[in-house]
Structure 1
Amino acid sequence: MRALIRTGTPKTLTYDTNHPEPNPAEYPECYTIRVKATALTRGELTWPEPLLPDIPVPGFDVAGEVVSTPIAPGEYAFKPGDEVYALTTFTWKGNARELSLATEKELSLKPKNLNWGEAASVPLSALSAYQALFIHGGLNSPEQGENSGKRVLVTAASGGVGIWGVQLAHEAGAEVVGTCSTANIDFVKGLGADTVIDYTKTDLLEWVTQGRESRGFDVILDCIGGQTLSASWKCARRGGKVISVAEPPDPKRPADGTAEDVEGVWFIVKANGNQLVEVTSLIEQGKARAVVDSVYELEQWGKAFERLEGGHAKGKVVLKVG
């Protein structure tokens, strides 16, 4: 079968037309999925976990059809022909291949109102934002109730995770501020941001300092790292949380100027089909939407990664597989 594989150094990729199909006997608790599309994540070729398989494959989002259920005895929630999507575990092969594997705990039925590429763009980014806000950030999820008085900052609000950070925080009833470039201001407003800061024209920390009591944040979802992450510490209210998906926040904590009891959180997103069901519900109700920057055929993987690593993608870069 066709697949994109990593060979040699961590960033070396090869297009393979004779890649071995997954053997269900080796993974008796897994569904076999016919992959329709997978999404790529910036920086994934530097991650250590995906290099553990003998022949690593990139792309950890998957949208496709169930081919077969697990061979281990038991009752299973999905059946052959079901249209599903998922974030799959980072220590297994990814999904830039025609047939892939997923566990039941990872899977959710695909939103009925999304095409394959749109569906593939959702899981990793949406789950990263969901877990940052509602598991590590302490906010109530949209199903749990309002977050009256809570203020949330999302940096790089037009990027893969940022898009979902804005939408989920908005749907959860928090006041949302997003940062982006001039070209994406209207786009981020359309996602539900109450205030959008153009980082090319306005310094975030200076903006917050002008009215720290009213402009400070209870939860900060940083998707950039570096100097932006360092400045984010000083933008948090007392008892707030600085959560980063870019790099660990604690080493970026300034020596002074941070409010009392502000906590830094670094985490690696986990596959979770139940949380994805909540995201699916929001999508099907029209309360959230997938954003695809561009779609490439599997054979065009070089152009896809070039677009991805250029740093200007609005939403996700998707590989069409089947």
Structure 2
Amino acid sequence: MLRILRIGESVTEFKVGDEVYYSPQVFGKFGSYAQYHVADAAIVAFKPINLSHIEAACFPLAGGTAWDCLVTRGNLQVGETVLIHAGAGGVGSIAVQLAKAMGAYVITTCSSKNRDFVRELGADRAIDYKNEDYVKVVLQETDGLGVDLVLDAIGGETIQNSLEIIRPFGRLVSIVDIATPQSLIKAWGKNLTIHFVLAPQYRAKLDALTKLIDRTQLRPAIDSILPWDRVVQAHQRLERGGTRGKIVLEFTS
């Protein structure tokens, strides 16, 4: 449970006892698994009232990242087509829902076992990345035009390969590192825009996500819930890949 225990003298928007959610400022710092945090009020938002604390924990980092990729940087518009790589993952499962709520045509890659899952989230076309060539499928699905936006949550050669299926003046947003040098010449030839996103924390996007959650346009996707003393197993599960939504650590008093 995330509840305010104390507030600073200048904080007026919250009070002791308020139930909130946020993503801690962890980069370059320690303590993301601590039971108590001191947080800047500017990154904290009221928890959606129709979610449990376990469910709400799925959204601040993954949901905030999806928001920055599709809205802030990707500038996704109603009627556009987006390809979301790894649509069953932590970020992808929220991005699929968010893109659909924004009025986009949503194509996503996933394993065959997760096809029904991503369709339930709102995907219009699910591509089995193990048995289908997503480049060929996307071009076929879009009559050779390609998509307006790609969200890369995989890395490796995904950026280079995805350039083939983005229409001129389209966009690509990546949240992962480029493992090897890649040729971006096709991006230049199409006047594409590429963004690399490390999602900053701020309240406004959490408030925006809360509105969508309250309207049931976003729902949590939980792969598993583990006690905090099994954090090693949680990381091992993440590193193996193939998760469906978020892994949540639960702290007990």
Which of residues 193, 201, 204 in structure 1 aligns to 2:131?
201
**Alpha carbons 2:187, 2:193 under 8 Å: kept:** no
What amino acid is the match of 2:243?
Answer: A
Find the partner of 1:112 among 10, 34, 49.
49
Moved more, 106-115 or 251-260: 251-260
RMSD after superposition: 2.1
- How far residue 253 of structure 1 moved from its aligned partner, in angstroms, is 3.7
2: distance between equivalents of 1:256 and 1:75?
Answer: 50
Q: Compute the TM-score of the two structures, normalised by the length of structure 2.
A: 0.92
Q: 1:186 to 1:243 in 2, by over 3 A?
A: same
1:239 Cα shift?
0.4
The one-letter code of the counterpart of 2:18 is: D
Q: How much has 1:248 moved relative to structure 2?
A: 4.8
TM-score, L = length of structure 1? 0.73
How far did residue 161 of structure 1 move? 0.8
- Superposed, which structure 2 residues align to 1:80-159 within 5 Å? 80-89=16-25, 90-140=27-77, 147-148=78-79, 150-159=80-89
Partners of 1:249 and 1:264 within 8 A in 2: no
Q: Distance in 2 between matches of 1:245 and 1:154?
A: 12
| Unaligned ranges ≥5, structure 2 | none
Do the aligned partners of 1:156 and 1:162 also contact (CA within 8 Å) in 2? Answer: yes
Q: Please tell me whether the aligned partners of residues 107 and 123 of structure 2 are also in contact (alpha carbons under 8 angstroms).
A: yes
Paired residue total: 251
User: In 2, Cα distance between the equivalents of 1:154 and 1:228?
Assistant: 11
Structure 1 residues 287-308: Cα deviation after superposition (integer angstroms, max 9, x where no partner):
1101111111111112211212
Task: Specify whether residues 170 and 214 from structure 1 end up closer, same or farther in structure 2 by C-alpha distance, changes over 3 A only.
Answer: farther
| 1:4 match | none
Aligned-pair identity in percent equals 33
Matches of 1:126 and 1:119 in 2, distance apart? 10
Change (3 A) 1:212 1:306: same
Residue of 244, 247, 266 corresponding to 2:174: 244
The answer (yes or no) to whether the contact 1:229–1:249 under 8 Å persists in 2 is: no
Highest CA radius of gyration, 1 or 2? 1
What is the identity, as a one-letter code, of the residue corresponding to 2:66? A
Gaps of at least 5 residues in structure 1 are 1-35, 37-63, 141-146
The equivalent residue for 1:299 is 229
Q: Using a 3 Å threshold, how does the CA distance of structure 1 residues 176 and 113 change in structure 2: closer, same or farther?
A: same
Q: CA deviation at 1:168?
A: 0.8
Q: Which residue of the partner structure matches residue 24 of structure 1? A: none
Change (3 A) 1:203 1:274: same
Work out whether residues 243 and 264 of structure 1, in 8 Å CA contact, stay in contact via their aligned partners in 2.
Answer: yes
Other-structure match for 1:78: 14
Q: Distance in 1 between matches of 2:202 and 2:69?
A: 13
Are 1:284 and 2:214 an aligned pair? yes
